Chains A and B, each alone.
Chain A
Amino acid sequence: MAALLQVEGLKKHFPVSQGVLLSRLGKSVKAVDDVSFTVDEGETLGLVGESGCGKSTTGRCINRLLEPTAGAIHFAGADVGKLRTKQLKAYRRDVQFIFQDPYASLNPRMTFGEIMSEPLAIHGVGTRKERQERCKEMLEIVGLSPEHIHRYPHEFSGGQRQRVGIARALMLRPKMIVCDEPVSALDVSIQAQIINLLEDLQKEFGLTYLFIAHDLAVIRHICDRVAVMYLGKIVELGGWREVYNSPNHPYSQSLLSAAPVPDPEKQHQRTRIILHGDVPSPIDPPSGCRFHTRCPIAQLPICKDEEPPLRQVASGHRAACHFAKPFPIPPDLSCYVAPLGDV
């Protein structure tokens, strides 16, 4: 399959201003620092990592909601960074966005119909009446009732609003959707509904997802491939089964070991890799491997001096660690992976 989206050396640095009177000291928050990956047509790539690792920033750069500091993004062969106003509009038609917070991502003064028909109006699709019809169809597709077209967001629950957020993203029949933590603001039972809806829609419309999340269970469920981010860099990238079954980077290992196991007894007994200290500041990231300050297997001086490249550890599976090696799954974690491993 051809890569639909290709991200190469993406960087996004936010300058830190030191007040009005003092001049800027040239420091910046390196939210995303040299990230490369591809997303194939029809697949779902999961971007996972803890808060502040730059996963949302990456998503926003792809849609050019943020201008990347450096790097290239190619979508279906076109260089996204070089698009001018008109081409950018056309590009945004193909790449839609689903936001995290369904309470903030819908304009409280617009009805569901107005919210959903807005993308059509912006791109001049159909007449007012046709748009209305498509809104009604789409409301049904996402599991709401067509009568809700004249309703306002505040009359609905978070899950229902998120369905409208999804419907809005689908109105233009995009090729790809960037899902920025679309379920993390929802209750667990609602999360499942939304995830299933996203999966059904992917089959129906042949969508490609870039799925940003911090919940490993959600990622496991929906993604074909997973990219693990730490402090603005991808530390591990591979098929979900490979990454979940044999994480090669110590950060992925600790992340997986921290995920709750759906069995209280095993949850109690399992060994966890506990990381000490906080995530270092992205203003002054550690030298060499960014993880070396917290890494349980770090060896000086190489980890401190040399930045590990994202190297191949298995077919289609890469990790950025000098000592990358498959993590033996302890029996107590196997319940988390096993029901899926034999698929």
Chain B
Amino acid sequence: MGPSRQEDISDFTAEAGVLAGTVTGPARTLRGDALRRLKKNKLALAGLAWIIIVILIAVTADLWAPFWLGDPIEIDSSTMTERTLLSPSLDHPFGTDKLGRDVASRVVYGARVSLIVGVLAVAIMVVIGLLLGAIAAYYGGVWDALIMRTADVFFAFPYILFAIVLIALLGKGFQNVFIAIGILGWPSIARVFRSSILSVKSNEYVDAARAMGASTRRILIRHIMPNSVAPIIVYGTMSVGGAILAEAALSFLGMGVQPPSPSWGLMLSEARSFMLSAPWLMIYPGIAILTTVLAFVLLGDGLRDALDVKLKE
């Protein structure tokens, strides 16, 4: 009975051989592809370049800033009066503040504070968020409801207000700033990761792995994790910018990094009273915050496109 049943469609099978040869060219890797896509995104590259510059400045600051620009913290009381509120010049490219400190030097050291707070706060929120998000998605039921409703409660409070309350409880200080920002940031990470796992879990390739006898561990490591962390990388990168902004806001309100430490937010706060008479006090830290936050957001945006395997140019 074979031949006649075959007849009506046998014409098409010739195409199979043709199809087999349609994809040519050298083998590519996912990472290579992602990098290629990232390289095409000029804005993301600009962001990445700026982040690298800021990191270099922050890391090497001790080697040149104090000698070239002046100490960012110490006040030389003997010459203070003649050096206060100088407008930008060759000696002080960004001018000086009311205590005679070099603004450029403070902006350079402020990068340290911002980067450390940004990275550590995001690290804290990612660790908490990944853990709770994974538990919520994996165990579901009561755990899911409990964790996600707690996240909702966190979302319901105004962010800065909540941070101020936390810092009031923890006490002022540098480390409490990033701890507070990190603790407040986990709900969004948990939400993103949970939904990411849930959507990956329902994919047929997870069923396929189970159908061929894969262990739960293998399914988690080989199939669910690699496909659900991409949004976290993107979101985490963007969150660094958010955390830097939060630190600046808290410092501006006097709840963050305490004087005399150089922090961009704190510098803005100090510059407030001289907004019209000495605008450089405000402009340069403002530009620093703007460009650094923007750089992280642009890079995150570029990564989102680059990490999407389905997106073809």
Point out residues on A near B: beta carbons under 8 Å: 20, 60, 63, 65, 88-90, 92-93, 96-97, 99-101, 104-110, 118-119, 122-123, 143-145, 148, 150-152, 154-157, 159-160, 165, 168, 172, 189, 192-193, 195-197, 199, 221, 339-340, 343
Contacts and interface: CB of A to CB of B under 8 A. Distances in A.
B218 to A, nearest CB: 7
Interface string B65-81: 00000000000000000
Interface in B183-238: 203-205, 207-215, 218, 222-223, 226-227
Nearest to B5: A221
Given A96-B211, A339-B4, A107 B9 contact: no
B82 interface: no
Interface in B19-68: 19-23, 27-28, 30
Please report whether the interface of chain B is mostly helix, strand, loop or mixed according to DSSP: helix
Contacts of B309: 108-109, 152, 154
A339 B17 CA distance: 29
B28 to A, nearest CB: 8
A139 to B, nearest CB: 9
Given A108-B227, A145-B20, A159-B19, A196 B213 contact: no
A196 B227 contact: no
A285 to B, nearest CB: 26
Nearest to A110: B222
Contacts, number: 118
Interface of B: 1, 4-6, 8-10, 12-13, 15-17, 19-23, 27-28, 30, 145, 203-205, 207-215, 218, 222-223, 226-227, 309-310, 312
A99 B213 contact: no
A196 B215 CA distance: 33
Given A60-B207, A63-B211, A99-B208, 10 more contacts: A89-B213, A92-B213, A99-B204, A105-B205, A118-B222, A122-B213, A143-B20, A145-B20, A145-B21, A152-B309
Given A150-B27, A157-B19, A104 B205 contact: yes
Contact of B218 (A88, A93, A122): A122
Contacts of B205: 104-107
7 contacts: A92-B212, A108-B227, A110-B222, A143-B20, A151-B27, A155-B23, A339-B8
Q: Which of A92, A105, A197 has the most C-beta atoms of chain B within 10 angstroms of its own C-beta? A: A105
Contacts of B145: 20
Contact of A122 (B6, B27, B214): B214
